[in-house]
């Protein structure tokens, strides 16, 4: 069993994001590309918009702190710390409305 603080990982990723030219940084804390389950902590600075993308599999976004917006087609969801969003199975992107940290969970089909 492994234990760590999501808050500490999120703080580190947001610090890295603030130093990066792209405004975001990520660390996979559980699983990876070779596993079914992958959980990644992402730090995103205010105003950063991830490029539109699509995922294979199911995904959720849990907001650790801050405020983000998930946009999929004509549908928009705003989320605050403590909110869990189920990511739709279509092209989407995430925008940071303020400095934020999220836990992205993805379950990939085998």
What's the average model confidence in pLDDT over 43-50? 96
Name the band, by pLDDT with cuts 50, 70 and 90, for residue 88: confident
CATH topology of domain 6-107: Jelly Rolls (2.60.120)
Distances (CA, A) of 6 to 10, 41, 60, 70, 103: 6, 8, 16, 21, 8
pTM: 0.91
Are residues 10 and 101 in contact, defined by beta-carbon separation less than 8 angstroms?
yes
Name the band, by pLDDT with cuts 50, 70 and 90, for residue 105: very high
Query: Is the model's pLDDT at 58 over the cut of 80?
Result: yes
pLDDT of residue 64: 97
Q: What tens digit of pLDDT does each residue of 10-44 get?
A: 999 999 999 999 999 999 999 977 888 999 999 99
């Amino acid at each position: 069993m492994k234990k760590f603080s999501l808050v500490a990982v999120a703080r580190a990723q947001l610090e890295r994001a603030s130093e990066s030219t792209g405004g975001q940084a990520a660390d996979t804390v559980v699983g990876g590309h070779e596993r079914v389950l992958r959980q990644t902590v992402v730090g995103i600075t205010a105003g950063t918009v991830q490029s539109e993308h699509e995922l294979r599999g199911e995904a959720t976004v849990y907001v650790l702190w801050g405020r983000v917006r998930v946009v999929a087609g004509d549908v928009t969801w705003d989320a605050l710390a403590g909110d869990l969003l189920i990511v739709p199975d279509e092209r989407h992107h995430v925008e940071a409305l303020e400095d934020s940290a999220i836990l992205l969970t993805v379950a990939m089909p085998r």
